[in-house]
Structure 1
Amino acid sequence: MIARLLLALAALFLVAFLLSPESFAALFQPLTKNGAPPIYTQTALLSLTLSHLGLVALAVLASTIVAVGLGVLVTRPAGAEFLPLARVITSVGQTFPPVAVLALAVPAMGFGAGPTLVALFLYGLLPIFENTLTALQNLPPSVTEAARGMGLTRRQRLFQVELPLALPVILAGVRLTAVISLATATIGSTVAARTLGEVIIAGLLSANTAFVVQGGLIVGLIAVLIYEGFQLAESAAARRTGQRLSD
């Protein structure tokens, strides 16, 4: 109950701050020096936040589609031989730091959101793929056998039995990817993507701690809310199939 109350208060604070950041100037004033502004106003914080979330949502959606698709493919008899290749593909983003991916993507795609999307997409594949693989490979044999006994086709077993049972674990992978991507997206501002990294970078360049705290605070609060939101979704998915989550 206390945790939910704290989450509600955090959400209310975040909304209020984004809608009227000037109202919180007194809160950040002690973090400034030499009369520097306490609130970042070069670009509206709400606009940057929505742009940041849009990039993350698009990247996570793309990562989910590809990673789950690969997970399904390699757990079918016809695609099992592609498991090593799938692991290599999904590990690429973890092998190369996002900064390196940005540096490689900018010459080909130019500055802006494109390189950031590529970096976030690649970085988000592995957690979702591994969770999908684990979930589909560890389905209760009795359930899958019962589905076969009912005469369900392979496609029907996949969409009516296997994926619903695997959904809680898959969502856990998406949760991890979403939270990591939310924080990682801040580096997109180094290549002119509109993210909350703009606020943090401005604070670092001007030695204004208030700006750095604002950018970090918004990202941190959203990360907590997304994390908790996904946990609720995982619990709901598990209840629908009569499962119990381990954490």
Structure 2
Amino acid sequence: MRLSLPTVLRLVALIVLVAFLARPDWFEPVFRPLTQNNAPAIYNQGSLMTLTLLHLRTVLIATVAATIVALGLAILVTRPAGAEFLPLSRSLVNIGQTFPPVAVLALAVPAVGFGEKPTLIALFLYGLLPIFENSLTGLTTLPKSVTEASRGVGMTGWQRLTRIELPLALPVILAGIRLSVVISLATATIGSTVAARTLGEVIIAGLLSNNLAFVLQGGLIVGILAVLIYDALSALERVLARRTGLSQSLTT
């Protein structure tokens, strides 16, 4: 099987990223020209691999929490009994987009202290909107013939939701999760301003010491992770869309 050029480039990026995280010293000649006054070319205040894993863990926890809440709200407001709560639900999920992440961190620190918790709160709030809106779109744009047929065969509301609606809406829901993950990957870097262990440590260390090599390392790791995860989730969406037989376009 012949691989396309974009696929080859993604594989190369993944291999380079893993190699850099495992043995960053191999790449010292690449970053040396970006340093001044014999400053270290490779981040030396912690393990890049550890920071990357912690960064991903923070994003994962926040995304799972946002998915549970946003999907739950979308299911609620698409049921006859919960339709009246749609305006309130939209207002709730828009809270995270109302305040800048730095403001959310500033408000959260006095309540929960420094560390990962305020970062999780900020990422959770920022991740709600895309997941909620895509879940709402997926659940409200299903083919009427399918939903009517499920009622015709005597399925209960729970059976229709779990066997028909959610499986068919899953590609669109996953598109919202993909957007949320990418946003969280970038936003999580600011968590280091409140002592969260993320790749923001590398960027902040570079800014404080005027070391462009550190800034570039942190930025490149986050950027490559975002592209690879985005592409992986996009591929999964296409697979799910083919399986469900939907021809509708995925929300981007």
Q: How does 1:122-141 map to 2 (within 5 A)?
A: 122-141=125-144
What is residue 174 of structure 2 aligned with on the other side? 171
Q: Which one of the candidate residues 230, 233, 242 is aligned to 2:233?
A: 230
- Cα distance between partner residues in 2 of 1:45 and 1:33: 21
| Superposition deviation, residue 99 in structure 1 | 0.5
- Cα distance between partner residues in 1 of 2:233 and 2:205: 31
Compared CA separation, residues 139 and 192, structure 1 to 2 (3 A): same
Q: Which one of the candidate residues 204, 208, 211 is aligned to 1:208?
A: 211
1:85 counterpart SS class: helix
- Check if 1:45 corresponds to 2:51: no
What is residue 220 of structure 1 aligned with on the other side? 223
1:22 counterpart SS class: helix
What is residue 162 of structure 2 aligned with on the other side? 159
Structure 2 unaligned residues grouped into runs of 5+ = none
- Check if 1:113 corresponds to 2:87: no
- Cα distance between partner residues in 2 of 1:237 and 1:99: 36
C-alpha contact 1:128 1:173 (8 A) present in aligned 2: yes
Q: Tell me the alpha carbon deviations over residues 68-98 of structure 1, each in whole angstroms, 9 at most, x when there is no partner.
A: 0000000000000000110010000000111
| Superposition deviation, residue 135 in structure 1 | 1.0
- Check if 1:142 corresponds to 2:121: no
- Check if 1:85 corresponds to 2:119: no
Q: Tell me the alpha carbon deviations over residues 139-162 of structure 1, each in whole angstroms, 9 at most, x when there is no partner.
A: 110010011111111000000000
- Cα distance between partner residues in 1 of 2:164 and 2:234: 21
- Check if 1:191 corresponds to 2:173: no
- Cα distance between partner residues in 1 of 2:229 and 2:121: 21
What is residue 5 of structure 1 aligned with on the other side? 8
C-alpha contact 1:127 1:176 (8 A) present in aligned 2: yes
1:135 counterpart SS class: helix
| Superposition deviation, residue 246 in structure 1 | 2.5
- Cα distance between partner residues in 2 of 1:245 and 1:37: 52
Compared CA separation, residues 27 and 127, structure 1 to 2 (3 A): same
What root-mean-square deviation, in Å, do the aligned CA atoms of Structure 1 and Structure 2 show?
0.8
- Cα distance between partner residues in 1 of 2:197 and 2:84: 41
Counterpart code for 1:78: A
What is residue 17 of structure 1 aligned with on the other side? 20
C-alpha contact 1:74 1:82 (8 A) present in aligned 2: yes
- Check if 1:180 corresponds to 2:179: no
Structure 1 unaligned residues grouped into runs of 5+ = none
Compared CA separation, residues 58 and 212, structure 1 to 2 (3 A): same
- Cα distance between partner residues in 2 of 1:235 and 1:146: 25
2:94 counterpart SS class: helix
What is residue 67 of structure 1 aligned with on the other side? 70
Task: Point out 4+ residue stretches in structure 1 off by more than 3 angstroms.
Answer: none
C-alpha contact 1:235 1:245 (8 A) present in aligned 2: no
Percent pairwise identity: 67
- Cα distance between partner residues in 2 of 1:244 and 1:135: 13
- Cα distance between partner residues in 2 of 1:138 and 1:191: 42
Q: Tell me the alpha carbon deviations over residues 162-210 of structure 1, each in whole angstroms, 9 at most, x when there is no partner.
A: 0011000000000000000000000000000000000000000000000
| Superposition deviation, residue 241 in structure 1 | 0.8
What is residue 101 of structure 1 aligned with on the other side? 104
